[in-house]
Every structure is written in structure tokens, then in C-alpha cells.
A and B are shown apart, each in its own frame.
Chain A
Amino acid sequence: MTVNRRTFLGASVAAAATLQAPAVLGAGKPRVVVVGGGAGGATAARYIAKGSKGEIDVTLVEPSRSYYTCFFSNLYIGGFRELSSIAHSYGTLASQYGINVVHDWAVGIDRDARTVTLAGGAVLPYDRLILSPGIDFVEGAVEGWDVSAQNKMPHAYKAGSQSELLKAQIEAMPEGGTFAMIAPPNPFRCPPGPYERISMVAHVLKEKNPTAKIIVADPKPKFSKMALFQEGWGNHYDGMIDWIGPDFGGDVVSVNPDAMTVTIDGEETKVDACNVIPAMKAGRICEMAGITEGNWAPVDGRTMQSRMDENIHVLGDACAQGDMPKSGFSANSQAKVAAMAVRAALTGSKMFPAKFSNTCWSLIGTDDGVKVGATYEATEEKIAKVDGFISQTGENAELRQATYEESIGWYAGITSDMFG
């Protein structure tokens, strides 16, 4: 049965008043509310609905009707994908899986009453809550920048209009102009992401504005796939990219969005486009729920349950779980473990040992793809790495092309795994 949004909301508000005992004890179908419709949340909602075959009532709360994946948004910036090709809607999850999709913001969580309050006023009761809200930015992380400056100096680290803005600004740079990126400190969403983005910016500039310069100020001495990126930058964009690590003041940075200047280690530079990627933290709803420790929400990797509330599971970028990188692939992998654990708790279905994996593909230039990946298992203490691999420097062009083509296949795979 498919429940449309209006009837669902009406029913759930009425139910909130009467439903006191946990649904699992016999007061009707158990309810799962999922907050966030990205790689973690959409996957979890789909797997719970699919696996429970109607035994669990699943509600997915996601503000966007059109969801743009962060993964592959760099390829849009580089001109390898259309923006529309990374946009997805929730129609199939609603119509084929019977998920109640609610396009609204979750603005409050009452852990004692086990309810989620939405901006529109609805109150959703849950037996289990899954939070997969992605990231927010740490205030004051980059001196001179806050979110009110995100139109002048976009972060483009939540895909969609920010990606469009950044792409337009790169393409509008004057001949021989300067592009700057302020790279984030660890841990952050998509570890190779800033460096793939630099590659894509360089690709665009090399074609349209070959005398332009790229400056990267980075607080980290090392970054993901560093040798592969540096080799690729030398091969494709020799002399164009100036990466400034902490040894040369890349960690002492301020920006002035009104004057369009960047100051690195006391030296001010006028820039024509600037991508500020600030330090990150769990999506704010985690803080509001009171389940964060520092910037992130700690979880037990065996079930992805919050260490602070067993009725809440936290997925993806927002959680602190151990060794897995913050990536869409990781969130998708964690969602399946959480879905299994939620079903086991609410309907008594089988529980198997948690297994996780991740692979991150990055595009350096045309047909020049690289990848890094690992497998993981859950221990009592954390999600621990088991095995891994990484592309090698000096690989031949045919293998790099195959790696890129494989990433296109992966995109089709994971998005159909998320959205049905």
C-alpha cells in the first residue's frame, strides 16, 4: 500500500497522541523514521522497507525533492557530467517500496517520547530512528568566512546550486586569473574530494583559460591519493597548481569574501574565484538530539547504534565509527548493517555479522581515473580496517580509462541501490 504524504501526516499526528507503548510490543506496526535521504538514509529506508515486506512502517524525512549526489558533483564542475545526471527523486521509494517520503526539515528530537518534530509542525513517533543528515560546517573554521559568504566563496560541498555557482565562477574568471581553494582539516566528507575538484578545475581552466593559476591552501601535510594526484597534476596540468601545505603556511589562512582576497601565512592574494571548504561536523540534528561527542556522533559499528541512545542509529558522514572514510559508499555500506539491525530488533529477523566496504574513485583528467578501497569489520570498539588497495602511480592509460569507466558503472549501481 502506498500512503500519500497528506494522509500519512494526518495519521501520524493522531497516532502521536495515543501511541505510548512501543509498537513492537503489539500496538501496531513498528515505526522507523529516517532523517536524511542521501547515501545512508535512502539506502536504509529502502532496505528496511524491502526486507520487512510491509511489516515495518518506514518514513523518510528529506527536505529536497530533487537530491543531488555529492559524489560525481566534481565531474559536473569539470564538464564531464550534466547537473541533471546527478539529480534523483524519491518517487520509486514511495511508489514501489511503500516508504512515506516527507519533504520537510527535522527540527527537533525528543528521545524520551521517541518523536521527531518537523519544521512544518508534524510530530513523527518512532520505535527506531535513523539519522543520516550528512555534514554541517564548523563555525569560525576559516577566518573571515561564514555561511552568509557562501555565494561569494562557495563551499560546493553540498551538491546542487552550490556546485552550479562554483562552476559559473570558474568559467567567468578573467584570462590568467587565480582560483583558490581552502582545503579542510581531517576528518571531512570525501577525503579525495578536494583534490579531485582541483583536478576538475584545472581541466576546465586548461581548456578555457590556460594561463590561469590555482592555489590550494591545505592544513594537512598529506591527503588521500596524494602521490596519484600529484603525478596526475604534473602529467595534465604542469605548473598550473600550487599546493601549499602546512609547512608553508597552508594552515594559517583567512579570507575576505567582499574584497575577494585570500591571506596565506600573512601574504594576501587577490583571487577571482575561491572555494572555501571549512572544517566539518555532523549534521546539526545530531547535536540537537544530544548524541554528539565533539563534532561527530559516536556509534557502535556492529549495529550503527548511537553510543548514547540505543533507539537511534547514525549513518554516514555524521557518525564517528572508526576507520571508514566519510563517503557515500561508506554510508551506503553502513546503511545495510543498520537496516539489518533495525529489522532484527523490530521484527526478529536474522542478524548476521556486520561487514563493510568502501571504494572511492577519483577522476584526475580525461579518462584518467584512480581508486582506493578497503574492507572493514566491526569490533566492540570500532569499525576496523581489514584489507585495502590503491591504484598505483605509473599505471597505463588503458587501465586508468577502465577505472574511470568502472566508476560510471558504480554510480549507476549505487544510485539504483539508494533510490530503487
Chain B
Amino acid sequence: MRFWGGTLIVWGALTGVAWADETAVQIGDAARGEQLFEQCAACHQVGEGAEHGIGPHLNGIFDRKVAQFEDFSYSEGITRARRDGMVWDLEHLDAYLNNPKVLVSGTNMEFAGLKDPQDRGDVLAYLRQFSASPQDIPEAAPTALAEEFELPPEILAIVGDPDYGEYLSTECTTCHQVDGEYDGIPVITGWYEEDFVLAMHAYKEKIRPHPVMHMMAARLSDEEIAALAAYFGALE
């Protein structure tokens, strides 16, 4: 079963379910999260004396704008997310842990993602202990977790029509280059279809930042997103 971690909160808002501070639950089991964090520890340190490694240290990450350390060399992708104003609140951390590339194209974080929402909640509960600002209890946004909603599996199961995708893609290629050149606007060819679909839904629900993409994604139907994913996914 798939969970749509990244848009949990927004789905709640859209479907009229109350926001996080009314439906707050503990985000997870910090002790179990500490164990799960071992797979992150090769790159990331957290806790007293933590320093940057392959990835930046994670002290104080909750509710901080992304890519804030001047002494760490960030990828172009995460730098762009910072400029677009992305903040490491719970929903973005959750989406990032679920699949880093879906939230931030071109991130250096080589991690397939934690697909189980409980795993993510546990890791985040552990990390949260090292962030000063959200340590106030009871939990509220940005640290509280809203009720979960599944992205209807049929959305991910839609088989896109690449012919339609090719036509729709012409709107994208005014800015994104089909030959995969990067000149300040991200590359969108050769993505795994599922990542593409998830990323476009993340724009549509305004989880990913960027006003142009919010506007472009807002009017794409589920079928149209699938068609684009099928077309671009097949391009080298």
C-alpha cells in the first residue's frame, strides 16, 4: 500500500479535515527513530557536537529555512528550494524523507526514501529532540502530524498517453530544455514516471515551492500528469 506522505496535511485541508493542531498526534517513537537514524548517520550527524559530514548536521533543523549553513556546500537543487522560500517544517521533512528527489530535483541526497510513514515519523520524532524551537509540548504545527490520507492508488496506477503527453509537454519546453541542458531551469527528462507524478502532484498541492509551477500544475488533471510523466520519462 502506498501513502502519500508529502501531501498529508494539505489533503486534510482540502477535504475539510481540521488542521494539525486539532488533530495532533505524536509524530513517532523517538527511540525507534534513533535506531532507524543509523542508516542516515553515514552522512548526517545530530546531537551535541554534531558537525557537517557528507551532509549537513541536523541540529535545529525543524522550522528552519532550507540550506542555511554558509559553511556547507549545497546542491543547486536545494539552493533553489531555499531561494523559493522552502522551510523544513514537518510536512516538507516528511516529504523529503519519503523521496528526496520528488521534493527537490537535483538534490545530492542519495537516499531512496523511507516508504513507511511510521518509519518517517519515528526518525522525525528523534530528530525533533535536537531542534530547539518546536520542543514545546503539546505539539502544534510545524511539528504535529495531521491525520494521514492515502493518495488514491488509482492515481499512481494511471497509465499515461504519451501522445497526449507530447502535446502537453510543449508547454513545458518553453522553459525546460528537452535535450536536458541545465541553464537555471531544472531538467525534467528521464525521470522515473512515479517520481514525476509525485513531484507534479506536490506542485499542484503547493507542497513544492514555486509560483510558476503551482500555476502550471494546478490545471493538470491526474491523467494529464500521467501523460506528461510517460512522455518525459521516455526521453533520454
A residues adjacent to B (C-beta < 8 A): 47, 329, 332-333, 336, 340, 350, 352, 355-357, 359, 371, 373-375, 386-389, 398-399, 401-402, 405-414, 416-417
Contacts and interface: CB of A to CB of B under 8 A. Distances in A.
Interface residues of B, number: 30
A387 B170 CA distance: 19
15 contacts: A340-B167, A355-B168, A357-B216, A359-B212, A373-B215, A398-B82, A401-B83, A406-B185, A407-B184, A408-B183, A410-B184, A413-B173, A413-B176, A417-B173, A417-B177
B188 to A, nearest CB: 11
A333 B82 CA distance: 30
Interface string B1-18: 000000000000000000
Given A387-B218, A413-B174, A350 B163 contact: yes
A352 B175 contact: no
Nearest to A406: B184
Interface string B93-130: 00000000000000000000000000000000000000
Interface of A is mostly: helix
B185 A409 contact: yes
Interface centre among B82, B84, B167 (most CB of A within 10 A): B167
Given A352-B167, A387-B218, A409-B184, A417 B211 contact: no
B87 to A, nearest CB: 14
Contacts, number: 90
Nearest to B183: A412
Nearest to A335: B170
Interface string B150-189: 0000000000000110011011011111110111110000
A332 B184 contact: no
B164 A352 contact: yes
B219 A408 contact: no
Contact of A375 (B82, B167, B215): B215
Contacts of B176: 413
A296 B185 CA distance: 34
B213 to A, nearest CB: 10
B32 interface: no
| In the A-B complex, the 7 residue pairs with the closest CB atoms | A409-B184, A409-B185, A402-B83, A412-B183, A336-B170, A389-B211, A413-B175
